[in-house]
Structure 1
Amino acid sequence: MPTPSLTKQALDLDDFLQPSTYSSLPANFFTYLQPTPLPQPYIVAVSTPVAQQFNLDPASLLTPRYVNAFTGNIDILGANPLASVYSGHQFGSWAGQLGDGRAILLGDAIDKHQQRFEVQLKGAGPTPYSRSGDGRAVLRSSIRELLCSEAMQALGIPTSRALAITGSDQGVMRETVETSAVVTRLAPSFIRFGSFEHWYYNNRPDELKILADFVIRHHYPESLGQPNPYQALLSTVTKKTAELIACWQSVGFMHGVMNTDNMSILGLTLDYGPFGFMEKYDERHICNHTDQQGRYSYRMQPTIGHWNTHALGQALLPLIGSVEETQQALDCYSSSFTNKWEALLRKKLGLLTIQNDDKELTDQLFNIMQEDHADFTHTFRYLSYLDNHTSSKDDDFVSLFSNAQAASNWLELYRARLVSEGSQAEERQGRMQASNPKYVLRNYLAQIAIEKAQNKDFSEVQKLLTILEHPFDEQPEHHLYAGEPPTWAQHLEISCSS
């Protein structure tokens, strides 16, 4: 792996952490415990932007002391490791108590903007909430989480972050024996919808209020000035959730497991499991082969987001005070999603104004994409290259569709729409290319990197991470990474197993 550049005024490891704010909650919210060591750990990948954000020297993360620290093998000054309890609805059914089954919160870190982040080790061993699990994460899923969380950050989509992956040859059993890994991940908070459900369904109103007050105080202080702070909290979280899912839809991202225990109270993309980016467009696409009923398909994500906010509203009902006030807080979901989705589509199409026939124009585009299963990312990226008048650049766009005439007919409508607002081609192209990525984390790219890493070649993970940090740039030297999946990879399936 090439040595990353040195960060100015880099922190020493012993200055990185301080006791977590979360640990100020009562003792029944979590369990203190130490990570379980892994033998002979080694570095797999490092996110240089995250290291630099927290004033860490990326090169130092390659040293044995850091590798052992971020595997859970040695203590870090300031750490007070704990695992939190929560509950949740899984695939629409109440699952009862869950919790951090393999994630251990080390403490808090302050970034260069003076923002506080929780620092977790995912895969650091069993906790009281592991149920029958071994508390480990495998190399395969850990690579996918690091790559996707950093790719989403670069796409401008709210997400948890990933600092590094460490690995070990210690085996764990999934469908087959795989090797272990630990992801160091960060977020302002890992509190979930299910954190509130836990206390509601256990009829613990005091703890429910303590948690809500904690979240308001540390993350939504503006709610304190409202007539009903808990209603304001629910309204803000509902809006953030709706807008997050609109962002997902705009890049063809599918989470795969939108259970309430995987939904962030801060509106972040959280818990990367069987996710996927849409390739051949199909609104019914299911990225998680465990999801036999398609509950979390692409087209269902906005609906399930709404369902999840209602689950949160149910949990907050005792604090808000009435069904009517709770429903009022939830009513913003549909308009928040629609407004964000339509604004994102206008940016993707390079439109500066709002006109009455915009929805018809976008609906027709998705209809022809659906009929011919056009590549999602290429459809919008190729549009960003088009001139305001017919040219040879049309060919790449039209070639995405087996019905070339339908694609050409839509282009006529699109160009008429551009003319109606006096669009300037060069300026529009620049805006569109800044809104429509050329590079996304296609499953086959991740799979190639994973297979090399399983043979101790981690160079492809680091290379792919670097490419995905600049998804809107042309990067001509890496143009092959923008390609559609090869034949062998067109039916890759991702499950919940990690």
Structure 2
Amino acid sequence: MQDDVQTGPQAFDLGKVWNNRFFGLGSAFFTARAPTALRDPYWVARSQSMARELGLQDNWWQSQEALEAFSGNRPLAGSQPLASVYSGHQFGVWAGQLGDGRAILLGELETRDGQSLELQLKGSGLTPYSRMGDGRAVLRSSIREFLCSEAMHALGIPTTRALCITGSDQPIRRETIETAAVVARTAPSFIRFGHFEHFSHNQQHDDLQKLTDYVIDRFYPECRDAANPAAALLAAVTHRTAKLMADWQAVGFCHGVMNTDNMSILGLTVDYGPFQFLDGFDPDHIPNHSDTSGRYSYKRQPQVAYWNLFALGQALLPLIGEPDDAMAALEPYKSLFPAALDRRMAAKLGFADSSEGVKTLVNDLLALMASERTDYPIFWRRWAQHLDGAPADMVLDLFHDRPAANTLLQQLQDPDQKFGQSPSAALALQSNPSVILRNHLAEQAIALANQKDFSMIQQLLDVLENPFEDHPDHATWSGFPPDWASSIQISCSS
């Protein structure tokens, strides 16, 4: 059922001053463009936790003004809407000019804790960068992005956030006829590697310098006093990206379209399209059925991230100067990523620190899981529950080769002798979520939403906002996926 919309005079009031600092960079960076109105909009979903960060009152969504504003139908006073231009490599091939083809940046607001967040409407109509697209987003993809943005945030993984979805019965053609939706999403900045590639490729070095100075001054002030600020920026982005890849790999997240225009300069997860969390553990899993070469498979994500960082380094080379300085900024990735992943995997086992013994145990476990396609999130959650006192059989039952699994579990009988430390059940439980946004859960919520029943979206959100807790009322959401889940195909239009 749709929520009733009220018109109380104080129901919706951002009460903030817009900064619009990206707008201040000048016309080379964007085209001023207002959103296109969405026909007869209605509420689909909202994140109250994100709303509170923006300082919105709890009943903000009951205002007709809010509904119209976040559908792109009514301008927000003080905003300066725009679509930014960028370029990039797509599937490893230079694609030339791209840009915000279906997203309008409204501007920048301060949160209640004094941080600045940009507010963007995705699916808000044609822009000069839409190319062959229609500038719209469909309900299906909007639900997936909304839920996964908030789920990743709750998992502690750097990400863009989502405030709300508004929908419309306006027809949109993808593989079939679907309905339109708009996601209001936030981030400290939506600047991508592709923004730097755009100005570098077009020999606009003054604008490249301007963009670099803007990013350093706003987000990486520690780089300003470096001998080579552009190289220091590349090194800082390398560090954040390495940590992000470790987060993705540890939780079993597959992005699906790791093009350079989908890589955040702040090390955030951005642009949720054909993403997927692993069900059965398969290092070769490809979440995007459009990715026929498997470039963006789960196991290749860390390597692709380095490739994308190299492309960013090339884009910054006119400012860095010497290629050796760019390569020196990139080199730490090769140690930062594995070290970060080792720490995260050790924590999943319950160990505060990694060690050679812990790494060996992790590798042995993953090899066994890969050979049997063991359910990745269920294994790790049961492992944590076993450390917390649950019987070992609940872990062993996941494997056909029980003796091999039992041999690995037996190593925990005297962990101090083998690993020099004892595993912590509390750490394991806080490192292995009870519930994640599996594809089949999103599909079930989408199917109901297509019938104008949005209740499962909000229920899923409530659970995903507390992923490390058990949820007895929704126990099936932590269980095995149904057989039909393996036939779900996710494409770039998802």
Same fold (TM over 0.5): yes
Query: Which residue of the other structure, out of 395, 398, 403, is the alignment partner of 1:397?
Result: 395
Partner secondary structure for residue 492 of structure 2: coil
Aligned to 2:114: 114
Shifted more, 83-92 versus 21-30: the winner is: 21-30
**Residue pair 1:42, 1:167 contacting (<8 A) in 2 also:** yes
Q: CA deviation at 1:354?
A: 3.9
Task: Count how many residue pairs are aligned between Structure 1 and Structure 2.
Answer: 489
Partner secondary structure for residue 144 of structure 2: helix
**Residue pair 1:121, 1:184 contacting (<8 A) in 2 also:** yes
In 1, Cα distance between equivalents of 2:448 and 2:483: 19
In 2, Cα distance between equivalents of 1:330 and 1:403: 42
Aligned in 2, Cα 1:11/1:26: closer, same or farther, shift over 3 Å? Answer: farther
**Residue pair 1:17, 1:76 contacting (<8 A) in 2 also:** no
Aligned to 1:453: 449
Aligned in 2, Cα 1:485/1:26: closer, same or farther, shift over 3 Å? Answer: same
Aligned to 2:84: 84
Q: Which amino acid aligns with 1:147?
A: L
Provide, for residues 292-321 of structure 1, a one-character-per-residue CA deviation record: whole Å limited to 9, x for no partner.
111000000000000000000000011011
Over aligned residues, Cα RMSD in angstroms? 1.7
TM-score normalised according to structure 1 size: 0.95
In 2, Cα distance between equivalents of 1:80 and 1:104: 10
In 2, Cα distance between equivalents of 1:21 and 1:161: 20
Aligned to 2:296: 296
Q: Which amino acid aligns with 1:356?
A: E
User: Does residue 30 of structure 2 align to residue 34 of structure 1?
Assistant: no
Q: CA deviation at 1:248?
A: 0.3
**Residue pair 1:14, 1:77 contacting (<8 A) in 2 also:** no
Aligned to 1:371: 371
Aligned in 2, Cα 1:45/1:16: closer, same or farther, shift over 3 Å? Answer: farther
Shifted more, 70-79 versus 405-414: the winner is: 405-414
In 2, Cα distance between equivalents of 1:125 and 1:326: 38
Aligned in 2, Cα 1:185/1:59: closer, same or farther, shift over 3 Å? Answer: same
Aligned in 2, Cα 1:469/1:267: closer, same or farther, shift over 3 Å? Answer: same
Q: CA deviation at 1:338?
A: 1.0
Describe how 1:141-220 pairs up with structure 2 within 5 A: 141-220=141-220
Partner secondary structure for residue 121 of structure 1: strand
Aligned to 1:474: 470
Aligned to 1:62: 62
Provide, for residues 389-428 of structure 1, a one-character-per-residue CA deviation record: whole Å limited to 9, x for no partner.
xx86111111111111111111112444355457567xx1
Aligned to 1:7: none
Q: Which amino acid aligns with 2:463?
A: I
Aligned to 2:7: none
Shifted more, 52-61 versus 285-294: the winner is: 52-61
In 1, Cα distance between equivalents of 2:109 and 2:282: 41
Q: Which amino acid aligns with 1:407?
A: A
User: Does residue 481 of structure 2 align to residue 485 of structure 1?
Assistant: yes
User: Does residue 307 of structure 2 align to residue 311 of structure 1?
Assistant: no
Q: CA deviation at 1:236?
A: 0.3
Structure 1: state its 5+ residue gaps: 5-9
Q: Which amino acid aligns with 2:174?
A: R
**Residue pair 1:14, 1:76 contacting (<8 A) in 2 also:** no
Q: CA deviation at 1:16?
A: 4.2
Q: Which amino acid aligns with 2:335?
A: S
Aligned to 1:409: 407
Aligned in 2, Cα 1:412/1:73: closer, same or farther, shift over 3 Å? Answer: same
Aligned to 1:430: 426
**Residue pair 2:43, 2:165 contacting (<8 A) in 1 also:** yes
Aligned in 2, Cα 1:497/1:406: closer, same or farther, shift over 3 Å? Answer: same
In 2, Cα distance between equivalents of 1:345 and 1:121: 36
User: Does residue 289 of structure 2 align to residue 278 of structure 1?
Assistant: no
Q: CA deviation at 1:235?
A: 0.1
Q: CA deviation at 1:3?
A: 8.3
TM-score normalised according to structure 2 size: 0.96
In 1, Cα distance between equivalents of 2:200 and 2:420: 55
Aligned in 2, Cα 1:353/1:248: closer, same or farther, shift over 3 Å? Answer: closer
In 2, Cα distance between equivalents of 1:200 and 1:366: 41
In 1, Cα distance between equivalents of 2:433 and 2:97: 39
Structure 2: state its 5+ residue gaps: 5-9
In 1, Cα distance between equivalents of 2:168 and 2:123: 11
Aligned to 2:438: 442
Q: CA deviation at 1:64?
A: 1.7
Aligned in 2, Cα 1:101/1:418: closer, same or farther, shift over 3 Å? Answer: farther
Partner secondary structure for residue 385 of structure 2: coil
Partner secondary structure for residue 269 of structure 2: coil
**Residue pair 1:43, 1:62 contacting (<8 A) in 2 also:** no
> Alignment identity in percent?
49
Partner secondary structure for residue 13 of structure 1: coil
Shifted more, 309-318 versus 58-67: the winner is: 58-67
